[in-house]
Amino acid sequence: MEKRTLGKSGLEVSALGLGCMGLSFGLGPATERSEAIKLIRAAVERGVTFFDTAEVYGPYLNEEVVGEALAPYRKDVVIATKFGFQADPDNDNRWSATNSRPEHIKQVVEGSLKRLRTDVIDLLYQHRVDKNTPIEDTAGAVKDLIQQGKVRHFGLSEAGARTIRRAHAVQPVTALQSEYSLFWREPEQSVMPTLEELGIGFVPFSPLGKGFLTGTINASTKFDSTDFRAIVPRFSEENRRANQTLVEVIARFAEQKRATPAQIALAWLLAGKPWIVPIPGTTKLSRLEENLGGAAIHLSTDDVRALEEASSAIPIQGERYPATHARLIDR
């Protein structure tokens, strides 16, 4: 698979990574451990070198699965994980409280290193901006960890342009991870100009619109109670019905290219900037292979323009997060 470098950092990864969260958390019941390990290793065998996890996925379980799966390939892959949450005793110990205090970060990293079976974390993200901790303190703590050889690169997730600049002034930011797809294009205005100016890579999560752009979800789809999409306004039955028009546009475009809607959605992201590296997730080998096929599709400038004009004409219905999650987004 083609390789890409995240901004000016020199961190080289496969053009498509693998978001591992859904194997353990957030999209229904966890995948059986041996099957999850098998899927991750299948990705390595097909050229994927970039794997994304976090301590809260599970919690802890996903890091353990990723660590076991990648142990035989450790020197050949890039592992990204995240800090920034803490169990909230006033909210049934849910991981809704942010905590990016320096002492907490260093404690979290020790646990992540053990679960990931490694001596160094390639890319360490702040999972969400902590409004109670100056970003300069957070960046300084990661800088210390980099100097100690426990972390190689610093990243942010769902951070706004001002926060990115402040963090970057203390410790260069290698990548921003935020949601971005034909289903959510807001980053084009809010953060991408800043990323380009500073030489920071962009790692879109949910590049397939949390599965919606694959064309396999419609108004009649029923989500498991453990599936995060069950509480997302954009995935209400009414909004799924309204937003189906976007999928139909992508599907028609895919037919012309003899591809699937998912492959076109990923190819569109890759055609945007050379420092964009999407991390689609899946629990199925067939979907993994389909997604990786998106990296082989090269869209022309005219293709991209036509796709963007058609999709921009469709108003997307529903917020992308419920209120409890939306308050954690830094803008």
Q: Is the separation of the CB atoms in 78 and 108 below 8 Å?
A: no
At 123, give phi and psi (nearest 5°). -140, 115
The token pair at 327 is 């308050």
Amino acid at 114: K
Burial 251-270 (b: 16+ CB within 10 A, else e): bebbeeeebbbbbbbbbbbb
The dihedrals phi and psi of 251, each to the nearest 5 degrees, come to -65, -40
Burial 37-67 (b: 16+ CB within 10 A, else e): bebbeebbeeebbbbbbbbbbbebbbbbbbb
User: What is the C-alpha R_g of the chain?
Assistant: 19
* Contact between residue 48 and residue 1 where contact means Cβ atoms under 8 Å apart: yes
| Residue 73 among the catalytic residues | no
DSSP characters for 14-74?
A: ESS-EE-GGGTSSBSSPPPHHHHHHHHHHHHHTT--EEE--TTTTTTHHHHHHHHHHGGGG
Taking CA atoms, 283 is separated from 36, 72, 175, 213, in Å, by 7, 21, 25, 16
Question: Is the distance from CB of 146 to CB of 172 less than 8 angstroms?
Answer: no
Spell out where 148-265 has E strands: 151-157, 173-179, 201-205
CB 14 within 8 A of CB 50: yes
Nearest Cα neighbor of 164 from 201, 132, 205, 204 is 201
Identify the active-site residue in 57, 60, 73, 180: 57
The tokens for 60 are 């802890």
Active site residues: 57
